[in-house]
Amino acid sequence: MFFDQIKEIDGNLKDLRDHLKNIGSAVDVHFDQLDDIAAHIIALEAVMVQVMRNIDVDMDAAKEWIRENTSESTGTDEGSMKAQAVLEDFAK
Protein backbone atom coordinates (compact mmCIF):
# COMPACT_ATOMS: atom_id res chain seq x y z
CA MET A 1 0.00 0.00 0.00
CA PHE A 2 2.76 2.42 0.97
CA PHE A 3 4.70 1.67 -2.22
CA ASP A 4 1.55 2.16 -4.30
CA GLN A 5 1.21 5.63 -2.81
CA ILE A 6 4.86 6.35 -3.59
CA LYS A 7 4.32 5.22 -7.20
CA GLU A 8 1.24 7.44 -7.46
CA ILE A 9 3.15 10.42 -6.07
CA ASP A 10 6.01 9.71 -8.48
CA GLY A 11 3.55 9.62 -11.39
CA ASN A 12 1.96 12.86 -10.25
CA LEU A 13 5.36 14.53 -9.98
CA LYS A 14 6.25 13.41 -13.51
CA ASP A 15 2.93 14.76 -14.78
CA LEU A 16 3.58 18.02 -12.95
CA ARG A 17 7.05 18.22 -14.51
CA ASP A 18 5.55 17.76 -17.97
CA HIS A 19 2.90 20.40 -17.31
CA LEU A 20 5.53 22.85 -16.10
CA LYS A 21 7.59 22.24 -19.23
CA ASN A 22 4.52 22.95 -21.35
CA ILE A 23 3.82 26.13 -19.40
CA GLY A 24 7.44 27.21 -19.85
CA SER A 25 7.22 26.65 -23.60
CA ALA A 26 3.98 28.63 -23.79
CA VAL A 27 5.55 31.49 -21.84
CA ASP A 28 8.45 31.56 -24.30
CA VAL A 29 6.03 31.77 -27.22
CA HIS A 30 4.05 34.57 -25.57
CA PHE A 31 7.24 36.45 -24.76
CA ASP A 32 8.28 36.27 -28.42
CA GLN A 33 4.85 37.50 -29.47
CA LEU A 34 5.02 40.41 -27.03
CA ASP A 35 8.49 41.27 -28.30
CA ASP A 36 7.13 41.36 -31.86
CA ILE A 37 4.26 43.63 -30.79
CA ALA A 38 6.66 45.94 -28.96
CA ALA A 39 8.89 46.20 -32.04
CA HIS A 40 5.90 47.12 -34.19
CA ILE A 41 4.73 49.74 -31.70
CA ILE A 42 8.19 51.30 -31.51
CA ALA A 43 8.40 51.46 -35.31
CA LEU A 44 4.93 53.02 -35.53
CA GLU A 45 5.87 55.50 -32.82
CA ALA A 46 8.97 56.52 -34.77
CA VAL A 47 6.87 57.12 -37.88
CA MET A 48 4.24 59.08 -35.94
CA VAL A 49 6.86 61.33 -34.38
CA GLN A 50 8.22 62.15 -37.84
CA VAL A 51 4.72 62.82 -39.18
CA MET A 52 3.87 65.04 -36.22
CA ARG A 53 7.01 67.10 -36.81
CA ASN A 54 5.78 67.94 -40.33
CA ILE A 55 2.01 68.17 -39.85
CA ASP A 56 0.13 70.34 -37.37
CA VAL A 57 -1.85 68.00 -35.11
CA ASP A 58 -4.75 69.20 -32.98
CA MET A 59 -3.59 67.75 -29.67
CA ASP A 60 -6.83 68.65 -27.89
CA ALA A 61 -8.84 66.74 -30.51
CA ALA A 62 -6.47 63.79 -30.19
CA LYS A 63 -6.86 63.78 -26.39
CA GLU A 64 -10.64 63.97 -26.78
CA TRP A 65 -10.52 61.00 -29.16
CA ILE A 66 -8.57 59.05 -26.53
CA ARG A 67 -11.10 60.00 -23.84
CA GLU A 68 -14.07 59.00 -26.01
CA ASN A 69 -12.56 55.70 -27.07
CA THR A 70 -11.07 54.57 -23.77
CA SER A 71 -13.48 55.86 -21.12
CA GLU A 72 -15.61 52.71 -21.21
CA SER A 73 -12.69 50.29 -20.97
CA THR A 74 -11.03 52.26 -18.17
CA GLY A 75 -14.25 53.01 -16.31
CA THR A 76 -13.37 56.71 -15.99
CA ASP A 77 -14.56 59.82 -17.82
CA GLU A 78 -10.92 60.79 -18.44
CA GLY A 79 -10.16 57.62 -20.37
CA SER A 80 -6.68 56.18 -20.58
CA MET A 81 -4.22 58.45 -18.85
CA LYS A 82 -1.36 56.32 -20.18
CA ALA A 83 -2.48 56.89 -23.77
CA GLN A 84 -2.71 60.62 -23.11
CA ALA A 85 0.80 60.61 -21.64
CA VAL A 86 2.11 58.79 -24.72
CA LEU A 87 0.41 61.40 -26.91
CA GLU A 88 2.08 64.19 -24.94
CA ASP A 89 5.45 62.45 -25.36
CA PHE A 90 4.87 62.40 -29.13
CA ALA A 91 4.46 66.17 -29.10
CA LYS A 92 7.81 66.80 -27.43
Residues 19-76: pLDDT tens digits?
999 999 999 999 999 999 999 999 999 999 899 889 999 999 999 999 999 999 999 9
> Does residue 34 sit in the same domain as residue 68?
no
Task: Indicate the pTM of the whole model.
Answer: 0.61
Q: Which domain holds residue 3?
A: 1-40
Q: Which 3-state string (H, E, C) describes the chain?
A: CHHHHHHHHHHHHHHHHHHHHHHHHHHHHHHHHHHHHHHHHHHHHHHHHHHHHHCCCCHHHHHHHHHHHHHHHHCCCCCCHHHHHHHHHHHC
Number of domains in the chain: 2
Structure confidence at residue 46 (pLDDT): 93
Q: 48 in a domain, yes or no?
A: no
